[in-house]
Chains A and B, each alone.
Chain A
Amino acid sequence: DAKTTQPPSMDCAEGRAANLPCNHSTISGNEYVYWYRQIHSQGPQYIIHGLKNNETNEMASLIITEDRKSSTLILPHATLRDTAVYYCIVRPANSNSGYALNFGKGTSLLVTP
């Protein structure tokens, strides 16, 4: 059963911000929201994760709604190299066992010149 819902595809012009939405309405209190991306046939690449506060790093920003039922990944200035499948994943942060990432369908982002 899918815990997240993402649009299957999105387009973005190079240099513009890419805003990728994710719905996770059944998220539990101890679950983090993780974002990964996979450039064609390469290993999934970690982007960012958060619990309830907005987060920013050198790659992206993560905006989580106050009720935590949805989030948005923002790539502030998309480049052609950002073309990839983006996965939004919820995952417990319990340190007692290695909870794996369960990949859903993701959003295929195409950045165009």
Chain B
Amino acid sequence: AAGVIQSPRHLIKEKRETATLKCYPIPRHDTVYWYQQGPGQDPQFLISFYEKMQSDKGSIPDRFSAQQFSDYHSELNMSSLELGDSALYFCASSLLGIVYGNTIYFGEGSWLTVV
């Protein structure tokens, strides 16, 4: 079965640069979620989109922005990168409207290293 696809899998950027991560949800899924997981930390929710509109917001820094496009893929844009932004970034997707919960499925993540 098709899974959540994230790209790139690894990214190295310098401080103050900008990075963009892409996420392609499971086909027919209409909701995407972004998570950040720092070294030794648990995944932290950043932001989510449903039908191209922001649906929920977590601890996303103001330097970060995201959007969901008409084909339901999503991009996370991170500007003015700081060393502390080095983390594993997960995208996840789900299909709303299913009565028995709407299970969220995760991609394998994108490693961002800021040097």
**Which residues of A are at the interface with B, using a C-beta cutoff of 8 A?**
32, 34, 38, 41-46, 49, 85, 87, 91, 93, 95-106
Contact = CB atoms under 8 A, between A and B. Distances in A.
B48 interface: yes
A103 B105 CA distance: 14
A106 B4 CA distance: 23
- Interface size class, chain B: 20 to 34
B88 A100 contact: no
B102 A98 contact: yes
B42 A49 contact: no
B18 interface: no
Contact of A43 (B55, B56, B96, B106): B106
A97 B106 contact: no
B99 A95 contact: yes
A45 B43 contact: no
Contacts of B42: 85, 87, 103-106
Contact of B33 (A87, A96, A100): A100
Interface in B24-55: 31, 33, 35, 42-45, 48-50, 55
Contacts of A49: 101, 103
Contacts of B43: 38, 44, 103
B49 to A, nearest CB: 8
A46 B56 contact: no
B100 to A, nearest CB: 7
